[in-house]
Amino acid sequence: MQNEASVNNEGVTNRYRNYVLAMLTAVYVFNFIDRQLLVILQESIKKELHLSDTQLALLSGFSFAVFYVTLGIPIARIADKKSRRNTVTISLGLWSIMTACSGLARNFVQLLLARIGVGVGEAGGSPPAHAMISDYFPPEKRSTALSVYSAGIYMGILAGYLMGGYLNQHLGWRTVFFVLGIPGVIFSLLFYATVKEPRRGATDGATVAYKPHSLGEVLRVLYSSKTFVSLAFGSALNVFCIYGMGNWAPSFLQRLHGMTTGQTGALLGPI
């Protein structure tokens, strides 16, 4: 069943399609700002809360990743059956609230719970966004649209490093979580008010009612493709290295080279 706010894509203008793409890209920017903030702030957090490197790793890596990955599948299944627009809205609001709540943490456990909340929220960001883009843009334009959307990763990391490092140096790490978390809540309301749910299969010439496939069917199709298996395995190894390096590069520069968080963000952000 389509959400009552869904639109028939035959009447959608290119201007509105591009607007939706810009909004989804902005959501992805918030996604990576909130995801990367802890990394640029972790030395200040470690000092105040007296944390070990193992605890920092649990906060920035393991605890976030476990919930982000495992909940991504059931949330995507919900988006298959319900409104993708609503799923993105709720997810953005949740992870933004939990980012702001990180600034209230007084110990490791409280901060861990807040980071888990960020991971839970962000698990519902990308899957429905990809599906919406596919239903707003025809196949010949889809790769370009998804490339624009993916650029939100790098814009988010840039903004997180630059703003997080600067604000932490001048206002403290708690203020950073408030300043960069609360705008996401406001933006989620704007997203809900201005973005419409597209008709499923609208740009693929679908003439029959949309019917979600079972999880077993989806897995059988995916894992019957050697290309998918190879890409998934290779991507996992690639991301393993990237996040391992990225999560500790700020600490490396601050501990061994005496750089401030502002200097660290200014150096790593543009890279």
pTM of the model: 0.87
> Which two tokens mark 96?
């933004």
Rg (CA), the chain: 20
pLDDT in tens, 11-27: 688 899 999 999 999 99
Going from the C-alpha of 252 to that of each of 71, 232, 260, the distances in angstroms are 31, 30, 11
Most confident of 64-73, 79-88, 201-210, 247-256: 247-256
pLDDT in tens, 107-159: 999 999 999 999 888 888 888 999 999 999 998 999 999 999 999 999 999 99
Amino acid at 129: A
12-201+212-268: CATH superfamily: MFS general substrate transporter like domains (1.20.1250.20)
pLDDT in tens, 155-200: 999 999 999 999 999 999 999 999 999 999 999 999 999 999 998 8
- Of 186, 169, 167, nearest to 177 (Cα)? 167
Q: What percent of the chain has pLDDT over 90?
A: 66
- Rounded Cα gap, residues 117 and 120, in angstroms: 5
pLDDT the model gives residue 213: 76
Domain residue ranges in the chain:
12-201+212-268
What lies within 8 Å, CB to CB, of 27 at 6+ separation is 88, 92, 125, 129, 152, 187, 191
pLDDT at residue 3 above 50?
no
